[in-house]
Structure 1
Amino acid sequence: MGETSRKRRFSRSAAAALTAVVLLATGALTGCDSASDTRGNGSPAKPRPSPSPTPVWDRSPDSIAAVGDSITRGFDACVVFSDCPEVSWATGTDATVRSLALRLIGEPAVTERSWNFARSGADVADLAEQMTQAAAKRPELVTVMVGANDACADTAERMTPVEEFRSSFAAAVRQLRRSAPKAQMYVSSVPDLKRLWSTGRGNPLGRQIWKLGICASMLGNAEDGSAKAQTRRDRVHERVVAYNEVLKDVCGKDLRCRYDGGAVFEYRFEGEQLSRWDWFHPSKNGQQRLAEIAYRNVTAAKPPRA
Structure 2
Amino acid sequence: MRKPSRRSTAVRAALTTVTAVVLGAAGLTACDGSGANSPGSEGSVSATKPSPKPTPTWDTSPRSVAAVGDSITRGFDACSVLSDCPEVSWATGTDKGVDSLSVRLLGRSGAAKNSWNYARTGARMADLPGQMARAGAQRPELVAVMAGANDACRNSADDMTSVAAFRSDFTDALRQLRRAAPKSQVYVMSIPDLKRLWSEGRQNPLGKQVWKLGICSSMLADPDAVDAAATARRAAVQSRVEEYNQVLKSVCAADKRCRYDGGAVFGYRFGQGQLSHWDWFHPSVAGQARLAEIAYRGVTAKEPVD
Q: Which bracket does the TM-score occupy, shorter chain normalised?
A: 0.7 to 0.9
Aligned length: 290
Q: Measured at CA, do residues 257 and 4 of structure 1 come closer, stay the same or move farther in structure 2, by a change above 3 Å?
A: farther
Name the residue aligned to 1:46: none
User: For 1:296, what is the secondary structure of its paired residue?
Assistant: helix
Name the residue aligned to 1:96: 97
**Displacement after TM superposition at 1:109 (Å):** 2.3
Deviating more after overlay: 281-290 vs 23-32: 23-32
Deviating more after overlay: 116-125 vs 131-140: 131-140
- TM-score normalised to the size of structure 2? 0.86
Per-residue deviation, residues 176-232 of structure 1 (Å, max 9, x unmatched): 110111111111001111111111111101111111111000001111000111111
Name the residue aligned to 1:210: 211
Deviating more after overlay: 273-282 vs 50-59: 50-59
Q: Measured at CA, do residues 28 and 179 of structure 1 come closer, stay the same or move farther in structure 2, by a change above 3 Å?
A: closer
Whether contact under 8 Å (2:69, 2:118) holds in the other structure is yes
Q: Measured at CA, do residues 159 and 35 of structure 1 come closer, stay the same or move farther in structure 2, by a change above 3 Å?
A: farther
Q: Measured at CA, do residues 256 and 24 of structure 1 come closer, stay the same or move farther in structure 2, by a change above 3 Å?
A: closer
Aligned: 1:278 with 2:279: yes
User: For 2:295, what is the secondary structure of its paired residue?
Assistant: helix
Whether contact under 8 Å (2:275, 2:283) holds in the other structure is yes
Aligned: 1:81 with 2:82: yes
List gaps (5 residues or longer) in structure 2.
Answer: 1-6, 42-50
- TM-score normalised to the size of structure 1? 0.86
Whether contact under 8 Å (1:62, 1:140) holds in the other structure is yes
Q: Measured at CA, do residues 63 and 29 of structure 1 come closer, stay the same or move farther in structure 2, by a change above 3 Å?
A: closer
Greater helix share, structure number: 2
CA-based RMSD of the aligned residues comes to: 2.9
Name the residue aligned to 2:300: 299
Amino acid across the alignment from 2:37: D
Q: Measured at CA, do residues 51 and 218 of structure 1 come closer, stay the same or move farther in structure 2, by a change above 3 Å?
A: farther
Q: Distance in 2 between matches of 1:228 and 1:69?
A: 29
Amino acid across the alignment from 2:136: A
2:37 corresponds to which of 30, 33, 36 = 33
Deviating more after overlay: 22-31 vs 292-301: 22-31
The structure having more radius of gyration, on CA atoms, is: 2
Name the residue aligned to 2:106: 105
User: For 2:74, what is the secondary structure of its paired residue?
Assistant: coil
Whether contact under 8 Å (1:56, 1:255) holds in the other structure is no
Identity score, percent: 60
List gaps (5 residues or longer) in structure 1.
Answer: 38-49
User: For 1:106, what is the secondary structure of its paired residue?
Assistant: helix
Runs of 4+ off more than 6 Å: 1-4, 22-29, 34-37
